[in-house]
Amino acid sequence: MSKINLYSDKDTTTTSISNVFIDEYMSGANGEFVKIYLYLLRQLNSANADFSLSEIADKFEHTEKDVKRALCYWERMQLLHLDYDADENLIAIRLMDALSKTGVEKTSAQQTTSTEIAQAVSSNVPKVPAKKSYSADDIKQFTNQDAVTELVFIAEQYLGRTLTATDLNTIFYFYDGLHLSLELIEYLIEYCVSNHHTSIRYIEKVALAWAENGYQTVEQAKQANGQYNQTYSAVMKSLGITGRNLVTSETTYIEKWKNNLGFSIELIQKACEKTIQAIHEPSFEYTDRILNNWKECNITSLEDVAKADTEHQKRKKTPVTATRTIVSNKFTAFDQRSYDDSRLEKMLLNTSTQ
């Protein structure tokens, strides 16, 4: 992954946050997006402002797609500008001053047309509509629809609580912003709750992933979830994990192995098995080191693993030739005798015949 240069329109010696950003941008943004924006501000003060998407992803335990989605969101908000090379690789990020959304005319250099956005967003990162805060009139208009009212009731039953204004705003964003069907939103909440995730932030993250992947029906989501669950189950079985579900940090590792490193389920299982053989307990960190090493060694199949294991065993069995060193001391200071083996043999034969 190539390094990305981060720079600003002005010299920065402190990590300062504009009041305009806090008042007008922060409240309507995904919390994870805010974290990444603040991290960019902090990076401007570091000795080396060059970094990669993978480094940010590792720091916040996200995928690179999550980071790209956040960057594209802030570009749409006109708080930064993304520069790409001819191959559509992100090479630079320019931070811009936050301007008030009301009564301030943006300069031509800060205006972003739909064409520019299309050019800036990489082809493998679909544009996701920005989340907005719905007014009381908007919420009233939504809840006047019987189907939406029923969805709110079902969501409260699944989550086991009365929905807050934030909860409602997020669910309406799924419907109005991401254009997920009511049936798909209901399945989304059911799916997350069944996996013991009732946080609206977590549910939103799954919804964004589904929208990014273009899921439009419950069947599509179920098929994809079945594949993910198959991977999770395979990892749990290989590591001997029973009686509990995987936590977020563990599933993040699995997504990294599948999506970022590009390993198949079979190779991930093999790395898990080797983890147990080596340390006799499940460790996602140890498995991660194995897979990172395989990536560096360009191991892409079980045959490559077997070949690497064979070469390793050969190196272990290769004898090491030791050089004998005679230490000079009072016992070895005299002249050492040299013997003629054939002459000794004749002497022994003559002795035996006498």
Strands 50-51 and 4-8: antiparallel
Do residues 195 and 163 make contact, with C-beta atoms less than 8 angstroms apart?
no
Burial class (CB in 10 A: 0-12, 13-18, 19+), 285: exposed
Which pLDDT does position 111 carry in this prediction? 35
> What's the pLDDT score for residue 118?
33
Q: Is the dihedral of CA 74, 78, 83, 89 positive or negative?
A: positive
pLDDT at residue number 347: 58
Q: Find the largest Cα–Cα distance for the chain.
A: 126
| 267-309 residue pLDDT tens | 999 999 999 999 999 999 999 999 999 999 999 899 999 998 8
pLDDT of 115 reads 33
Task: Compute the mean pLDDT over every residue in the chain, rounded to the nearest whole number.
Answer: 77
Find which of 42-51, 197-206, 244-253 is predicted with most confidence, using mean pLDDT. 197-206
pLDDT band at 343 (very low <50, low <70, confident <90, very high): low
Is the CB of residue 197 less than 8 Å from the CB of residue 203? yes
Per domain, the residue ranges of the chain are 4-101+112-120, 136-216, 235-312
Per-residue pLDDT of 156-179, as tens digits, reads 999 999 989 889 999 999 999 999
Cβ partners under 8 Å of residue 121, min gap 6 = 72, 127
Q: Which of 62, 52, 49, 96 shows the shortest CA–CA distance to 76?
A: 96
What is the 8-class DSSP label of residue 101?
A: S
pLDDT computed for residue 183 by the predictor: 92
Query: Of 65, 67, 94, which Cα lies nearest the Cα of 78?
Result: 94
Q: Tell me the pLDDT tens digit for each residue of 305-330.
A: 999 888 888 887 766 555 455 555 55
- The b-or-e profile of 1-17 (16+ CB within 10 A means b, else e) is eeebebebeeeeeeeee
Structure tokens at 23: 């008042």
Chain segment 92-144, per-residue pLDDT in tens:
888 887 765 444 333 333 333 333 333 333 334 445 678 888 888 888 888 88
Instruction: Look at residues 11, 9, 62, 14 and name the one whose alpha carbon lies nearest to residue 36.
Output: 62
Give residue-wise pLDDT tens across range 210-241.
Answer: 888 788 888 888 877 766 677 888 898 899 98
* CATH 1.10.10 at 136-216, yes or no: yes
